[in-house]
Structure 1
Amino acid sequence: MDLDGDGALSMYELEYFYEEQCQKLDNMAIEPLPFEDCLCQMLDLRCKLTNVFFDTFFNIEKYLDHEQKDQFSILRDSEGESPEVSDWEKYAAEEYDILVAEEAATVALNSPY
């Protein structure tokens, strides 16, 4: 999400990804939340709710689930210790494995041996 590579997510970068979600919502005849309101919600999230943060910008179905779910139940769910791996953690692990494999293949192709 760090489009300019400065190591931080700016409001402009978040808005860039949120605009795509808004287009999807418009196509579904759902009025999107104004970006400023969405940003306030994201800034209020606790660290254990990173899946909600990324779903907001990348996964429209889960975003809608979060929007329709009682916010207090989300907080309650996040406070309990769960040995279960979240969908986001599974996705991140899979993407990391793919990235490592691609880099290994690139190194192997560029190796003089």
Structure 2
Amino acid sequence: MSYADFVWLLISEEDKRNATSIEYWFRCMDLDGDGVLSMYELEYFYEEQCERMEVMGIEPLPFQDLLCQMLDLVKPEREGRVTLRDLKRCRMAHVFYNTFFNLEKYLDNEQRDPFAVQKDFENDGPEPSDWDRYAAEEYEILVAEESGNEQLQEGCISLSPCDVHPNSNKLFIHLL
């Protein structure tokens, strides 16, 4: 994978709301290239998520129940067929794709307050994109790491003598 391909993958993963990402993930899911996501293709990707959930000790939703949720979410023009046009028209394509590709984001969405979703739609001001939020979070992490490294290099963090807990072989370091 080239650097340019990696960048497009990262942007498509972190911001599934934009048209380019919607097209990218649609091509990933359209296994037979017919321009339609069949129920077979949806089940194929959901089975992978089910395996991951079972490893985590989470009981997955039966496919038929999930399928009803996804079809209600997308509201395809033709029953039983999801097209790229349907997903672009749907304001929740990111939820659809996370359900099949990103277990962590799928589970986050499942735990989310349903009223928070309504607030997202009612917000009139320009809301930052998922990519903007991701970049801001990563920048904050970078700044925190940099400031921590600077403190260590400057000797701002001093350590007290180390203790070994009497009933354990663990080493405890006390920060002053």
Alignment partners' CA distance in 1, 2:43 and 2:104: 19
**75 and 16 in structure 1: CA distance in 2 versus 1, 3 angstrom threshold:** farther
Indicate the residue corresponding to 2:111 in structure 1. Answer: 68
Q: In the alignment, which of 25, 29, 33 is matched to residue 61 of structure 2?
A: 33
**72 and 20 in structure 1: CA distance in 2 versus 1, 3 angstrom threshold:** same
5+ long unaligned stretches in structure 2: 1-28, 75-89, 135-176
User: Which aligned segments of 4 or more residues in structure 1 are displaced greater than 4 angstroms?
Assistant: none
The TM-score, its normalising length taken from structure 2, stands at: 0.46
Tell me the SS of whatever aligns to 2:40.
Answer: helix
Alignment partners' CA distance in 2, 1:44 and 1:75: 16
**18 and 48 in structure 1: CA distance in 2 versus 1, 3 angstrom threshold:** same
**75 and 38 in structure 1: CA distance in 2 versus 1, 3 angstrom threshold:** farther
Superposition RMSD in Å: 1.8
Q: In the alignment, which of 44, 48, 51 is matched to residue 72 of structure 2?
A: 44
**41 and 76 in structure 1: CA distance in 2 versus 1, 3 angstrom threshold:** farther
Higher strand share: 2
Alignment partners' CA distance in 1, 2:91 and 2:50: 25
Equivalent residues in 2 for 1:52-63, closer than 5 Å: 52-63=95-106
Shift of 1:80: 3.0
The answer to whether the Cα contact below 8 Å between 1:48 and 1:78 also exists between their aligned partners in 2 is: no
Tell me the SS of whatever aligns to 1:45.
Answer: helix
Equivalent residues in 2 for 1:15-26, closer than 5 Å: 15-26=43-54
Aligned residues: 88
Shift of 1:79: 4.5
Alignment partners' CA distance in 2, 1:8 and 1:79: 31
Alignment deviations for residues 37-83 of structure 1 (CA, whole Å, 9 cap, x no partner): 11111112251111100000000000001111123422431443544
Alignment partners' CA distance in 2, 1:79 and 1:45: 18
Indicate the residue corresponding to 2:130 in structure 1. Answer: 86
**28 and 35 in structure 1: CA distance in 2 versus 1, 3 angstrom threshold:** same
Tell me the SS of whatever aligns to 1:29.
Answer: coil
**Which amino acid is 2:64 matched to?**
E
